[in-house]
Amino acid sequence: MNAPLKQHLIDPEICIRCYTCEEACPVDAITHNEDNVVVDASKCDFCMSCIAPCPTGSIDNWRVVLEPYSLEEQMEWMELPEQAEIAKPEGSDQDGGDIEALEDSVERLLAEAHAGAGGKAKAPATATKPSINLYNLKKPATATVQGNYRLTSEGADSDVRHIILDLGNQHFPVLEGQSVGIQPPGTDENGNPYLPRLYSISSPRDGERPNTNNLSLTVKREEHGVCSNYVCDLKKGDEVKLTGPFGATFLMPNDPQANIVMICTGTGSAPFRAFTMRRQRTAGEGGAMMRLFFGARTSDALPYFGPLKKVPDTVLEKHLVFSRAEAVEKEYVQDRMLKQKASLAELIRADDTHVYVCGLKAMEEGVEAAFQAIADEAGSDWHAIRDAMRESGRYHVETY
């Protein structure tokens, strides 16, 4: 079987045949007949030079295919074909749906991370279409470190870093919830290059500040962790090779009135920082309430504790809970969820609620049990609710 391949296509219903893309393409991959403008899959190298000049947005379409659509086929189209269901690479236990990455190893990592949702992950209906795997190990993007800040206090027992990577002139479109891959330089004891690690992006799609071409990561230094130590030691001006972006399901809904419930521990907060900033930038205080259940050992070990406090309560209802704080009873996210059972029971019944769980694998069980208890008490069937939510792209788990 052929490996799945990403193909760049033009939506013939939206295209106005101005041929601007054809002029912009540096490798002459774009051509046309009288009806349609088409892209040659054997030539297109995803340089993205054609994307910005397109006046219609029709150019920004991608399909994962086993056999690329030929020029002749594309020229006949009256409309763009739907994404076909494609078998996943070997080793993945998913059987289709959204393609999260084109590299088997990354696809497998994400499939594993998303397994906690109990079935095939799906993107929210109103999520923006993600770009995936524009860069790979053979052709990585090069980012420059713009800043590296410690998020946890010096005294805290964990070292979590906020790292800002400047992408310069490279086109690296990301969405909140997506990840990037970093391959540490050097080789392991067998002389093989290290495997790349995935990190969730913690900044919104338009950058740390609006319209900056950068992204941020939230990385915890792991003892003996080759990649996390490499990333946490990066200095301003250092260059880093990035792959990705990856992930096509753990994305936020564009609908500003969608309820969003976010449950996380530690660096699992990364995507939720991005979600919150995105919602604030697009809807201000006019969007639906977002809710965050965020657990850490102590407040000085909770990444973004300070900035989080500053997000208005009208935008984000914050439940920051601590399992080792002095003079307070130990509390985990699931404990707080149970205390909020009335509102959560109502939320999971609403059909515009999106739930996201992100953090260590170990948290899954507690969260699942809390939802189970909340649903039971309300007389509903948690698994049925969860499956329905997941089927409609509203229940997402990413744990590792």
Catalytic residue among 199, 230, 332, 356: 199
- In 3D space, the residue among 299, 294, 243, 241 whose CA is nearest the CA of residue 271 turns out to be 294
What tokens does 321 get? 């809970």
The amino acid present at 176, given as its one-letter code, is E
Asked if 301 and 157 count as a contact pair (C-beta separation under 8 A), the reply is: yes
Among 31, 83, 92, 128, binds another protein (CB under 8 A): 128
Catalytic (active site) residue 200: yes
Contact 225, 233 (CB under 8 A): no
Candidate ranges 49-57, 62-70, 363-371, 381-389; the one touching another protein (CB under 8 A): 49-57
- Beta-strand ranges (E) seen in the chain are 5-9, 30-32, 37-39, 61-65, 141-150, 160-166, 179-182, 197-200, 214-220, 239-246, 259-265, 290-296, 316-322, 353-359, 395-399
CB of 8: closest distance to another protein in angstroms? Answer: 15
Integer Cα distance of 243 and 141 in angstroms: 6
Nearer to another protein, 57 or 96 (CB): 57
Minimum CB separation of residue 127 from another protein in Å reads 11
- Is residue 398 part of the annotated active site? The answer reads yes
Check 179, 200, 203, 216 and give the catalytic one.
200
Q: Which residues contact 203 (CB under 8 A, 6 or more apart)?
A: 164, 214, 215, 216, 273, 274, 277
Of the candidate residues 31, 49, 92, 340, the single one contacting another protein (CB under 8 A) = 49
Residue by residue, DSSP assigns 50-113 as: TTTT-SSSTT-EEEEESSPPPHHHHHH-SSPPPPPP-PPPTT----SS----SSHHHHHHHHHH
Q: In the bound complex, what is the minimum distance in angstroms from residue 358's beta carbon to another protein?
A: 24
**Closer to another protein by Cβ: residue 68 or 253:** 253
For 135, which DSSP code? B
The angle subtended at Cα 174 by Cα 274 and Cα 400, nearest 5°, is 65
- Does residue 25 have an active-site annotation? no
- 42 catalytically annotated: no
Q: Taking the complex as a whole, how short is the minimal distance between the CB of residue 45 and another protein, in angstroms?
A: 14
Per-residue x/- mask for another protein, residues 157 to 186, rule CB under 8 A?
Answer: ------------x-x---------------
Q: Does the footprint of another protein cover residue 282 (CB under 8 A)?
A: yes
Distance of CA 33 to the CA centre of its chain: 38
Q: Which of 211, 285, 326, 329 is in the footprint of another protein by CB under 8 A?
A: 211
57 near another protein, judged by CB under 8 A: yes
- Beta-bridge partners for 162: 149, 218
203 is a contact residue toward another protein (CB under 8 A): no
Please identify, among the stretches 10-18, 217-225, 328-336, 386-394, the one whose residues bind another protein according to the rule CB under 8 A. 10-18
Among 78, 155, 235, 327, the residue binding another protein under the rule CB under 8 A is 78
Does position 14 interact with another protein (CB under 8 A)? The reply is yes
Residue 176 beta carbon to another protein: minimum distance, rounded to whole angstroms:
14
Q: Which two tokens stand for residue 206?
A: 């338009």
Of the listed pieces 8-16, 156-164, 230-238, 337-345, which binds another protein according to CB under 8 A?
Answer: 8-16
Residue nearer to another protein on the CB measure, 25 or 231? 25
Mark the segment that binds another protein (CB under 8 A) among 56-64, 263-271, 328-336, 365-373: 56-64
Q: Which long-range contacts (CB under 8 A, 24 or more apart) does 386-391 make?
A: 386/117, 386/118, 387/118, 387/119, 389/348, 389/353, 389/354, 389/355, 390/117, 390/118, 390/119, 390/120, 390/121, 390/122, 391/119, 391/122
Active site residue 395: no
| Contacts to another protein from residues 251-270, by CB under 8 A | 254
17 binds another protein (CB under 8 A): yes
Catalytic residues: 199-200, 358, 398, 400
Q: Which residues bind to another protein, rule: CB under 8 A?
A: 13-14, 16-18, 20, 23-24, 34-35, 49-53, 55-58, 60, 78, 128, 169, 171, 211, 254, 282
